[in-house]
Amino acid sequence: MKTYIVLDESGAMHLKKERFFVIAGFMTRELHKVTSAHKRIEEIVKKRKNISLNTKIELKASKINSSQQALFLNELYSLPGVIPIAIVIDKDNLSKFGASENVAYNFFVKNLLQYLFKCNLPILKTSKIELRVDNRNTSVKNLKDLETFLAWEFEVLDLEVKVKYLDSKDNKDIQMADYIANLIWKKYNCHHEDLSRRIPKFYQTYISKFPFKLFGSDPSLKQIAKTKAQKVAN
pLDDT in tens, 207-222: 999 998 999 999 876 5
| Arithmetic mean of pLDDT over the chain | 88
Percent of the chain clearing pLDDT 90 (strictly above): 68
Query: Are the CB atoms for 2 and 29 separated by under 8 Å?
Result: yes
Residue 228 above 70 pLDDT?
A: no
| Residues near 219 by beta carbon (within 8 Å), at least 6 away in sequence | 92, 93, 95
| Residues near 57 by beta carbon (within 8 Å), at least 6 away in sequence | 46, 51
**Helices 101-118, 145-153: crossing angle, 10 deg rounding:** 40
The reported pLDDT for the residue numbered 225 is: 46
How many Cβ atoms from other residues are within 10 Å of residue 32's Cβ?
Answer: 9
Which range of residues forms the domain containing residue 13?
3-233
Please give the Cα distance from 184 to 142 (Å, whole number): 26
- Give how many domains the chain has, as a whole number: 1
CATH of the domain at 64: 3.30.420.10
pLDDT digits (tens, 9 = 90+) for 192-204: 999 999 999 999 9
Model confidence band, residue 227 (pLDDT cutoffs 50, 70, 90):
very low
Kind of pairing between the strands at 20-28 and 82-90:
antiparallel
Q: How far, in whole angstroms, is CA 89 from its chain's centroid?
A: 11
The reported pLDDT for the residue numbered 166 is: 93
The neighbouring-strand residues paired with 162 are: 130
Angle at 194 between CA 32 and CA 99, to 5 degrees: 75
Provide the 3-class DSSP secondary structure of residue 11.
Answer: coil
Residue 224: enclosing H or E segment and its boundaries?
Answer: helix 219-233
Radius of gyration of the chain from its Cα atoms, rounded to whole angstroms: 19
Q: Please tell me the pTM assigned to this model.
A: 0.89
pLDDT digits (tens, 9 = 90+) for 94-148: 876 666 777 888 889 999 999 999 999 999 999 899 999 988 655 444 556 788 8
Provide the 3-class DSSP secondary structure of residue 173.
Answer: helix
pLDDT digits (tens, 9 = 90+) for 147-174: 888 888 777 678 888 999 999 999 999 9
Average pLDDT, stretch 21-34? 97
